[in-house]
């Protein structure tokens, strides 16, 4: 079933049978007050603003029978998969592994590790826990995509310039054609989001394509 999204820098065709919706790190630790994002001094309401858009796209994708992959950034309880450079960087009020309002920060199984209820995975959807920024690093994602013969990824989630962009660049290097939903991604720094959108679609889609959610929804409904 071939669909075409009116995207930048040019149209993005995809076969839904070979395309996955990849939702990056829509976790309580990043989106809700009291999590890791807030501990860094960020305004998490900026990220909360994209939730309704992500819900609409996710629902439409499910109705079409499309496959969904969710990622969560988090670490083992003993922090053995968290390098010191990541653990010690910056000046947050809470560091990875510290106890916060939603349990230990960015630790698997803690309340803050969970995907927000509005976008909770359902049976048949893949959930990938990743220790790094990219969805492919030290995860079984590539193998899972190959089993399903996935060639295209439609991407949403947070934050645009960090985990989303890193995952798209990893995917691009592995041969996947990726579309980023412009209003289905956000940053704590709006200027970083805009710069990332421009970088992704520059030079004839050097990393991938971008399009507003309405263009994707129209393509799905066509």
130 is catalytic: yes
- The catalytic position among 29, 54, 129, 130 is 130
Residue 210 CB neighbours (<10 A): 24
Q: Is 163 a known active-site residue?
A: yes
Tokens encoding 180: 């980023």
Distance in angstroms (rounded) separating the CA atoms of residues 101 and 184: 27
Over its C-alpha atoms, the chain yields an Rg (Å, rounded) of 17
Residues 6+ apart with CB under 8 A from 56: 213, 217
Residue 211's beta-bridge partner residues?
181
List the catalytic residue out of 54, 82, 163, 178: 163
Q: How many CB atoms lie within 10 A of CB 177?
A: 18
Residue 29 appears among annotated catalytic residues: no
H helices of 69-139, where? Answer: 84-87
Question: Per-residue pLDDT for the chain (222 aa), expressed as one digit of tens each?
Answer: 899 999 999 999 999 999 999 999 999 999 999 899 998 899 999 999 999 999 999 999 999 999 999 999 999 999 999 989 898 887 778 889 999 999 999 999 999 999 999 999 999 999 999 999 999 999 999 999 999 999 999 999 999 999 999 999 999 999 999 999 999 999 999 999 999 999 999 999 999 999 999 999 999 999
Global pTM reads 0.97
């Amino acid at each position: 079933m071939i669909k075409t999204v009116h995207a930048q820098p040019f149209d993005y065709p995809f076969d839904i049978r070979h395309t996955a919706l990849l939702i990056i790190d829509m976790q309580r630790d990043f989106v809700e007050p009291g999590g890791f994002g807030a501990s860094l001094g960020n305004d998490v309401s900026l990220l909360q603003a994209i939730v309704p858009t992500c819900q609409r796209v996710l629902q439409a994708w499910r109705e079409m029978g499309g496959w969904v992959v969710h990622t969560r950034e988090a670490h083992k309880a003993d922090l053995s998969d968290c390098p010191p450079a990541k653990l010690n960087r910056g000046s947050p009020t809470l560091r990875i592994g510290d106890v916060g309002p939603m349990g230990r920060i960015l630790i698997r199984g803690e309340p803050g590790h969970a995907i927000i209820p509005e976008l909770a995975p359902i049976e048949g959807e893949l959930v990938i826990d990743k220790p790094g920024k990219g969805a492919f690093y030290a995860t079984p994602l590539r193998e899972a995509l190959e089993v399903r013969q996935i060639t295209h990824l439609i991407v949403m989630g947070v934050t645009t310039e960090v985990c989303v962009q890193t995952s798209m660049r990893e995917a691009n290097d592995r041969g996947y054609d990726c579309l980023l939903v412009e209003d289905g991604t956000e940053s704590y720094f709006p200027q970083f989001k805009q710069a990332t959108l421009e970088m992704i679609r520059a030079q004839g889609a050097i990393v991938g394509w971008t399009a507003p959610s309405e263009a994707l929804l129209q393509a799905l409904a066509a």
